[in-house]
């Protein structure tokens, strides 16, 4: 067996070409299927979306925005990332019109998405439309199902208690009167 010298690059040693087990025996280039790459991209974007949500909850708005922009670079149509980016734009940069337009667009695409409803509520709180924001929070709470993290996030944003008389409207005189009464009775230091 004769040893062959590998051609050198001017800078020094050149590593051998990376070979997969299939490429050793076949001259064709081995490529990963596109559906495998798409599922890997989706999983990575999902992880980035979850990380950005945690960063937002910790008050790291700038880091969350950077994470979301990375995710949207891979999958521009991801609803979770677009929703959370709207929250970043509203709370971190003060771009309320752009944030509201983005959040409403995600809700229009899928009104049953609890994260989109939560994000729209956060944006509306920043714009000063508390009534609409609380409606969005109520929808997000009802759509969240078993997602404890999302329910806790909604509870932090919507401090209102449950209605005293669920069959009546929240602003009905009985709900308002008894709600205030029980709040005073529960108040510490009295």
pLDDT digits (tens, 9 = 90+) for 77-102: 889 999 999 999 999 888 999 999 99
Tokens of 152: 């806790």
**No. of H helices and E strands in the chain?**
8, 0
Instruction: List the domain boundaries for the chain.
Output: 40-159, 161-190
What would the pLDDT profile of 150-188 be if each residue is shown by its tens digit? 888 888 887 667 778 888 887 889 888 988 888 788 766
Whose CA is closest to 81, among 93, 91, 68, 92? 68
Whose CA is closest to 63, among 37, 91, 29? 91
> Nearest 5°: phi and psi at 175?
-65, -40
Look at residue 25 in the predicted model and tell me its pLDDT: 46
* Cβ neighbour number for residue 71 with a 10 Å cutoff: 25
Confidence band, pLDDT 50/70/90 cuts, at residue 65: very high
CB–CB of 102/86 below 8 Å?
Answer: yes
Look at residue 118 in the predicted model and tell me its pLDDT: 92
Contacts of 47-51 with C-beta under 8 Å, sequence gap 24+, read 48/81, 49/78, 49/80, 49/81, 49/84
Percentage, residues of the chain above pLDDT 70:
77
Reported pTM: 0.67
pLDDT at 9 > cutoff 70:
no
pLDDT at 12 > cutoff 60:
no
CATH code that applies to domain 40-159: 1.25.40.10
């Amino acid at each position: 067996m004769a040893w062959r010298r590998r051609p050198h690059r001017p800078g020094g040693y050149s590593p051998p070409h990376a070979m997969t087990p299939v490429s050793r025996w076949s001259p064709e280039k081995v490529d990963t299927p596109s559906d495998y790459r798409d599922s890997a991209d989706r999983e990575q974007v999902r992880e980035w979306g979850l990380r950005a949500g945690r960063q937002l909850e910790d008050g790291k708005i700038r880091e969350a925005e950077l994470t979301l922009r990375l995710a949207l670079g891979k999958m521009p149509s991801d609803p979770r990332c677009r929703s959370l980016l709207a929250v970043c734009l509203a709370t971190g940069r003060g771009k309320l019109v752009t944030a509201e337009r983005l959040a409403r667009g995600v809700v229009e695409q899928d009104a049953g998405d609890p994260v989109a409803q939560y994000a729209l509520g956060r944006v509306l709180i920043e714009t000063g439309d508390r009534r609409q924001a609380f409606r969005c929070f109520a929808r997000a709470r009802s759509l969240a199902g078993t997602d404890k993290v999302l329910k806790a996030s909604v509870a932090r944003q919507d401090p209102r208690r449950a209605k005293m008389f669920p069959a009546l409207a929240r602003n009905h005189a009985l709900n308002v009167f008894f709600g205030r009464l029980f709040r005073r009775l529960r108040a510490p230091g009295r």
